[in-house]
Amino acid sequence: MSRRAHQDLLIEIGTEELPAAAQAPLAGALADSVVDMLAGRGLDVGGTEAWWGPRRLAVLVRSVPGMEPDREIERRGPSLKAAFDAAGKPTRAAEGFARSVDTPVTELETLDTDAGSWLVHRQIRPGQPLADVLAERLPAVLEGLPQPRRMRWSDSEASFLRPVRWLCVRLGKDTVAVEAFGLQAGDTSRGHRIHHPGPVRFKSPSDYPEALRGAHVIADPVMRRAEIVKQVDALARTLDAVPAPPSNALYDELAGLVEWPVALQSRFEESFLELPDAIVITTLAHHERFIPLRGSDGALLPDFIAIANLDSRDPEQIRRGLARVVRPRLDDARFYFRWDRERTLADYRSDLDALQFAPKLGTMAEKSKRLADLSARIAENAAWPETDRTTAARAGELAKCDLVTGMVFEFPELQGVIGGLYAAGDESDAVAAAIAEQYLPAGADDPLPATPAGAALALADRLDTLVGGFAANLAPSGTKDPFGLRRAAFGILRIAADRAPRLDLCPLLDAAAAGYPDALKAREAVPNVVEFLRERLRSLILDQGGRPDVAQAVLSVSPLAPGEVLVRAQALDAFRHGEHATALAAANKRIANLLRQAAASADGTAAAPAAPADTGAESALAHALDTALPGLDEALVEHDFARALTVLAKLRDPVDRFFDEVLVMDPDPGLRARRLGLLARLRQAFLRVADIGELQSPAAS
């Protein structure tokens, strides 16, 4: 095969068992880094596929040119002024440059730029074979993959997230001589640790997945996950059951724990079903990565499904082993549950004084007091009934009590859930529900709090954490966000947009800051928090299909009410496609510029003699504006921003006529002041909806 022909490239890093959560990011980084390295050498590729699992990371790069393109190398020397003397003879600088490029001065070229003229040397560097490029560049790519932690093994200086045991680099049918992690790349992979521990050979890179399947390895994580779901559903049906809950996160993790999934059913003692379902489910799913089951009547069963990583010749022995693993965990849960219930949830408040919230931010007892006050304030600002305010305040007082229970100490994943369960026996159903909902949503796909008090508490918790975090200099930086403030911000926006669309967050941020001691200077952090939330809200608009100019137009004028901002953005996005949008956007830009110039020069601000009445375009615009304002007021009261923009669109003709016929910056100070005043009123009318001067025309987008 010609070295210039396109070939597929396969790169595989074989390791000891990788953490499930690290596999996809590492495989993605591997694919991106390899493509970037090739692109840097002028090599375009036909696409990539990445595969990952507990013992391997692999990328298939399709249709890579076998040779680099030839490249022109240009090296600049001294300027012509420095290269030749007055008689036109080469100076020492020119001769030294010529020697450095091994070319006579007479054969050097010149480069003319705006900054002057220079001696240059140009040469064509032939492209290297791809195999040579890979041998030279790939080791640094592989060893430089970003990782949260690295480890060393044996006496090697190499480091990776887990020890690297083999390396495979194949270009078409050929092995590439790459050395990395102290290993020489070979032409084979390895199969399942038990079923096929030896080498796996394949004819070409594209045969890699099928060859591994023959060695009891499903290389594609999507197919592996689908196989797990299929087996779980099929096994559950034989038991007249369904997975409880069908957790996407659990299935994702299982796909990262096994290479050859085999679903097995096992059981625990029925006496453990006296525990609340949430405790049993968390014990099985979070701690053991087992899948709980519910019967056809919805009741939790003593059966569960585990995913083994091999086809056992004695599955019954594995089932017994699974039951032995589960029993002590459920026994611990039952012990702590019974021990905790010797006290009411409220009894645990006294223990919160000894529990620190965060550096500089006081104790959990102090946070609970802030949550009670802020939750009630949120319910009040949202205009919810008095019962919701009382419920929210009580839920705030007790929200963190479960953090000092034995159950949450042993099973941290159950915080909030345990509080809700314990409150159900001591408090009203509404208080218990709010406590159980305080951490919702925990992720992008999680449900929101269903009750008003739960929404108020969830907002209060995040607002308090966000303000405190910024005040204590714990704001996110780069990829670091140890206190989850970005996640808290998105949670705030989602909850507020859905549960209280018109709720302005700015007064609540001030209230949150007021709950902290003056020494923390939390109030000074509020502007930074507001900007942080605005940027997250901008991202939310873009994620929902909005445009950057629409986001800017809305965010520059609207209150920090997420639901209202999103509705404004939707209305403005529809408006910008209308026939009047481009003209009115241009007019608003012009008005803003005129008012800015006037403010800079104090035009129209000083007392001016009365100007004669105008009966033309100026008065027509004033009349049209006066006519439009009542309709605008009515639309805004109802938060109907689409109708408000329709009202404003009717001003297009009088605005166009005004600018065609009227000289705004008239030499007469009275006329100038009056016309600027009219434009200021017009500008303010538009700003009540959005700064449409920020809009770009649909054609420009």
Where residue 640 sits, what CATH number does that domain have?
1.10.730.10
Given a cut of 70, whether residue 305 has pLDDT beyond it is yes
CATH number at 33 reads 3.30.70
Amino acid at 516: Y
In a domain, 385, yes or no: yes
Please give the pLDDT value at position 469. 95
pLDDT tier, 544 (very low <50, low <70, confident <90, very high otherwise):
confident
Higher pLDDT among residues 581 and 212, named by residue: 212
Q: How far apart are CA 664 and CA 675, in angstroms?
A: 6
Contact predicate 250/282, CB 8 Å? no
Mean pLDDT for 64-68 is 90
- From 215-219, 598-602, 646-650, 675-679, the region with the lowest mean pLDDT: 598-602
206 and 293 co-located in one domain: no
Contact predicate 186/175, CB 8 Å? yes
Which of the listed residues 162, 189, 213 is the one where a domain comes to its end? 213
What the block records as the tokens of 272 is 């453990």
Please give the pLDDT value at position 1. 40
395 and 524 co-located in one domain: yes
Which of the listed residues 213, 242, 265 is the one where a domain comes to its end? 213
Given a cut of 50, whether residue 351 has pLDDT beyond it is yes
135 and 109 co-located in one domain: no
In a domain, 644, yes or no: yes
Higher pLDDT among residues 289 and 578, named by residue: 289
What the block records as the tokens of 409 is 């100490």
Q: How far apart are CA 467 and CA 522, in angstroms?
A: 7
Query: How many structural domains comprise the chain?
Result: 5
In a domain, 558, yes or no: no
Please give the pLDDT value at position 445. 76
Q: How far apart are CA 182 and CA 152, in angstroms?
A: 11
Please give the pLDDT value at position 245. 73
Mean pLDDT for 126-147 is 92
484 and 495 co-located in one domain: yes
Residue whose structure tokens are 């724990």: 257
User: Residues 6 or more apart from 46 whose CB is under 8 A from it?
Assistant: 6, 62, 63, 64
pLDDT tens profile 440-495: 998 777 899 999 999 999 999 999 999 999 999 999 887 788 889 999 999 999 99
677 and 616 co-located in one domain: yes
pLDDT tier, 246 (very low <50, low <70, confident <90, very high otherwise):
low
292 and 390 co-located in one domain: no
User: Residues 6 or more apart from 350 whose CB is under 8 A from it?
Assistant: none
**DSSP letter assigned to residue 692:** G
- Find the helix or strand (DSSP H, E) in which 435 lies: helix 429-437
DSSP 409-445: HH-GGGTTHHHHHHHHHHS-HHHHHHHHHTT--SSTT
pTM (two decimals): 0.79
Q: Which residues of 375-399 are buried (b: 16+ CB within 10 A; e: fewer)?
A: bbbbbebbebeeebbbbbbbbbbbb
- From 57-66, 244-253, 270-279, 498-507, the region with the lowest mean pLDDT: 244-253
476 and 611 co-located in one domain: no
pLDDT tier, 2 (very low <50, low <70, confident <90, very high otherwise):
very low
In a domain, 149, yes or no: yes
306 and 227 co-located in one domain: yes
Mean pLDDT for 188-192 is 97
pLDDT tier, 615 (very low <50, low <70, confident <90, very high otherwise):
low
75 and 176 co-located in one domain: no
Q: How many CA atoms lie within 13 A of 679 on its CB side?
A: 29
Given a cut of 90, whether residue 626 has pLDDT beyond it is yes
Given a cut of 80, whether residue 3 has pLDDT beyond it is no
Given a cut of 50, whether residue 80 has pLDDT beyond it is yes
261 and 334 co-located in one domain: yes
Q: Which long-range contacts (CB under 8 A, 24 or more apart) does 418-424 make?
A: 418/279, 418/340, 419/345, 421/276, 421/278, 421/279, 422/340, 422/341, 422/344, 422/345, 423/345, 423/398
In a domain, 419, yes or no: no
Please give the pLDDT value at position 487. 93
Please give the pLDDT value at position 582. 85
Higher pLDDT among residues 557 and 368, named by residue: 368
605 and 522 co-located in one domain: no
Percent of the chain with pLDDT over 70: 96
3-state secondary structure of 116: strand
Given a cut of 70, whether residue 324 has pLDDT beyond it is yes
pLDDT tens profile 11-49: 999 999 999 999 999 999 999 999 999 998 889 888 999
Contact predicate 75/48, CB 8 Å? no
Given a cut of 90, whether residue 576 has pLDDT beyond it is no
Return mean pLDDT, the chain. 91
What the block records as the tokens of 600 is 């800079």
Given a cut of 90, whether residue 124 has pLDDT beyond it is no
In a domain, 352, yes or no: no
Q: Residue 660: give the domain boundaries.
A: 570-694
Q: How far is CA 624 from the centre of its chain?
A: 46
Backbone angles phi, psi at 263, to 5 degrees: -80, 135
Sign of CA dihedral 505, 506, 511, 516: positive
Which of the listed residues 340, 374, 408 is the one where a domain comes to its end? 340
192 and 244 co-located in one domain: no
Given a cut of 80, whether residue 50 has pLDDT beyond it is yes
**DSSP letter assigned to residue 176:** P
In a domain, 80, yes or no: yes
181: left (phi over 0), alpha (psi -120 to 50) or beta: left
Backbone angles phi, psi at 296, to 5 degrees: -65, -20
Percent of the chain with pLDDT over 90: 73
In a domain, 625, yes or no: yes
pLDDT tens profile 152-182: 998 888 899 999 999 999 999 999 999 999 9
